[in-house]
Amino acid sequence: MSADRNANGVTHTDIGALREDNSETVFSITNSGKYTLPFFERFPPEIMGLIFRWCLDGEILFLPICYDCSTVTMPWALGQVCSRWRDILMNDSTVWSSLTISYESVRDKEALTRKVKEMILPRSKHDLISLTCSNMEFRDDATYHTNAISTIVMPNLEKFRNLTLSMAREELDPLITSPPDLLASLESVKLCFTWTSFSTLEDFDFHPDSITVFERAPKLRKVHFTGFYFCEFQGKNPLTLPWSQLTDIEITINLPFTAVLKFLPFCMQLVNCWLSFGSMDDRINQRPLLGQITLPSLRSITLCSAYAGTLACPNLLQLLILPALKDFTLHLYDRIFVQEILLALIQRSGCRLERFEVTGYFEDSLNNAATLLEAMPSLKRLVLPRDYVLPMPTIERIMAGELVLGLEAIHCQVASLPLMLQLIESRRSGKSAESRESYKGIRCSVLWGRGMLECKCET
């Protein structure tokens, strides 16, 4: 066998061509051709797995080539990769420009950190790189924490373009308190504060002005903060960010309603927004809300209500004007959904919703589904809570083509399965629509629960 080829006869020039072509060529690498995997962005995960296992002396480092990159842990022999191919991979800085480091189940975390620092980061040279670093061990012992932030992230902070860090809060402190001048290249940041950070309920809260480091990141466009379910930012200004330049905001840590009112009017470039509300100041409920908030570019909004009784979601909806809105999602803890508020939002915004989804409870609040659907003529996907039964007259109007003619998917509970199946059949004339049958994209599965038929149908 030529030194230029691996065990299956693929030359390094072939790999270079595939890398440039970025096609979905399928070819075999291991086990004498018995195992095949589609080619994704750069190189097959099994090849990168071999390289990583070789260069890290058996420790595992993941490269996020595809969503199935966990397969790189399979123990293939190093001899299956030729020396010349290996040299090409090891010397190509673009291969090392997107790293995922997982400390899960790694016994010697310090050794892994040291190898990444000494062997991996130098190969990225001066290219901007993306880093995903996670340590979500469900333990309170400090020995399970890592020094990845101080030894990997901080010395190379000016190189990172995308940061995803899932660590205990105390591990993230060096980053949160770092000089903002080092964030000139940062385009997106995702911080996950793991539940190991919190030993008591009092520790769930973040103190005022706790995160200000990203305020002067000139290229920052996407921000995602997430944490344990009961985490809540405290204070009137818990976050200081370059709001006017952000296109994506996802904050699943509960926010005070007053804090949202302070930053949301400045988010003029916002395209996607996800906000979670905690407890709401009762004094706000008793005084009128003044002024409107127009977000001209917003296409998708998701609002979550984490506590029963909070009026944050309906109060915010009364203020918004969203002319470009296509995707609207509500996750409700309690039955606080006022149909009239949503209808007013659609009418004053002039938006054409394509996706409408509500999870939680709103059986007592949606009194006329047909009226709501009439305001959404462009709707393609409808998802309703499990406790809400779509009325038969509404289904009949959908069947007759009077409502949401372009509807492609509906997830809801219905009182009559045959009628729902007729709805599917009317959209695909000449096809028999039977339960659990799949044909040309139509999927219908039926579950029995709480005395009703719950039907999930996709066309």
Residue 377 in this model has a pLDDT that exceeds 60 = yes
Q: Which residue has the tokens 């949401």?
A: 404
In a domain, 56, yes or no: yes
Whether residue 118 is predicted with pLDDT greater than 50 in this model: the reply is yes
CA pair distance 210, 396, nearest whole angstrom: 54
Paired tokens of 377 = 């003529």
- Judged by DSSP in three states, 457 sits in strand
Distance CA(302)–CA(328), nearest Å, equals 6
The dihedral formed by the CA atoms of 236, 277, 322 and 317, expressed in degrees to the nearest 10? -100
Candidates 450, 434, 454; CA nearest to 442 is 434
Answer yes or no: are the C-beta atoms of 255 and 280 closer than 8 Å: no
Tell whether the model's pLDDT for residue 291 goes beyond 70: yes
Residue with the bigger pLDDT between 440 and 127: it is 127
Query: 356 pLDDT exceeds 50?
Result: yes
Number of residues in the chain:
459
Q: Which residues, 6 or more positions from 143, have their beta carbon under 8 angstroms from its beta carbon?
A: none
Q: Cα–chain-centroid distance for residue 416? A: 35
pTM of the model: 0.71
Interatomic CA distance for residues 293 and 298, integer angstroms = 12
Above 60 in pLDDT, residue 295?
yes
Q: Which residues, at least 6 apart from 290, have a Cβ–Cβ distance to it below 8 Å?
A: none
- Which range is most confident: 77-91, 176-190, 423-437? 176-190
**Residue 155: inside a domain:** no
- Give residue 269's pLDDT: 96
Question: How far is the C-alpha of 449 from the C-alpha of 87, rounded, in Å?
Answer: 59
Reduced to 3 states (helix: H, G, I; strand: E, B; else coil), residue 234 is: coil
For the segment 120-164, what is each residue's pLDDT rounded down to a tens digit?
A: 677 666 556 677 777 655 444 444 556 777 777 888 888 788 888
Taking 80 as the threshold, does the pLDDT of residue 297 lie above it?
yes
Asked if the structure places residue 128 within a domain, the reply is no
340 — pLDDT class (breaks 50, 70, 90): confident
Q: What is the pLDDT of residue 413?
A: 72
Of 267, 210, 264, which is closest to residue 235 (Cα–Cα)? 210
Residue of 15, 9, 102, 6 lying closest to 56 (CA atoms): 102
Give residue 203's pLDDT. 44
Name the average pLDDT for the chain: 66
- Domain of 416? 388-459
pLDDT on residue 308: 52
One-letter identity of residue 300? S
Q: In this predicted structure, what is the pLDDT of residue 250?
A: 94
Using CA atoms, how far apart are residues 121 and 102, in angstroms rounded to an integer? 15
Q: Which of 91, 118, 148 is the last residue of a domain?
A: 91
Element at 438 (helix H, strand E): strand 438-439
Band the pLDDT of 329: cuts 50, 70, 90.
Answer: very high
Predicted local confidence at residue 421, as pLDDT: 67
pLDDT of res. 235: 57
Would 229 be classed as within a structural domain? no
Q: How many domains does the chain have?
A: 2
Asked whether residue 435 is domain-assigned, the answer is: yes
- Which of 91, 107, 135 is the last residue in one of the domains? 91
Which value, in Å, is the radius of gyration of the alpha carbons in the chain?
A: 26
Q: Which of 91, 125, 154 lies at the terminal end of a domain, its last residue?
A: 91
Domain assignment of residue 446, yes or no? yes
What is d(CA 190, CA 251) in angstroms, rounded to the nearest whole number?
10
Assess if residue 331 is contained within a domain: no
Q: Which of the pair, 190 or 407, is modelled with greater confidence?
A: 190
Strands of 143-211, DSSP E: 160-167, 188-193, 205-206
User: How many C-alpha atoms does 269 have within 13 Å on its Cβ side?
Assistant: 10
Distances (CA, A) of 68 to 16, 29, 45: 22, 16, 8
Predicted confidence at residue 362, as pLDDT, reads: 55
- State the Cα–Cα distance between residues 271 and 260, nearest whole angstrom: 16
How would residue 195 be classed by pLDDT, with cut points 50, 70 and 90? low
pLDDT at 105: 61
Here the contacts of 261-267 (C-beta below 8 Å, separation 24 or greater) are 261/319, 262/236, 262/237, 263/239, 264/293, 264/295, 265/293, 267/243, 267/295
The residue with greater pLDDT, 248 or 366, is: 248
Q: What average pLDDT score do residues 374-384 get? A: 88
CB-CB contact of 372 with 343 (8 Å):
yes
108: left (phi > 0), else alpha (psi -120 to 50), else beta?
beta
- CA–CA separation, 446 and 365 (whole Å): 26
Helix (H, G, I), strand (E, B) or coil at 15: helix
Can you give the pLDDT at residue 326?
97
Q: Which of 319, 259, 263 is nearest to 293 (CA)?
A: 319
CB 167 within 8 A of CB 142: no
Residue 304, strand partner residues: 276, 331
Query: Alpha helices, DSSP H only, in 264-329?
Result: 282-285, 312-317
- The yes-or-no verdict on residue 3 having pLDDT over 50 is no
Question: Measured at the alpha carbon of residue 455, what is the angle toward residues 451 and 459, in degrees to the nearest 5?
Answer: 170
Kindly give, in sequence order, each residue whose CB lies less than 8 Å from that of residue 186, ignoring residues fewer than 6 positions away.
160, 161, 162, 163, 214, 217, 219, 220
pLDDT value at residue 130: 73
Q: Write down the pLDDT at residue 361.
A: 60
More confident residue, 166 or 449: 166
Q: Residue 44: what pLDDT?
A: 52
Tell me if 69 is assigned to some domain.
Answer: yes
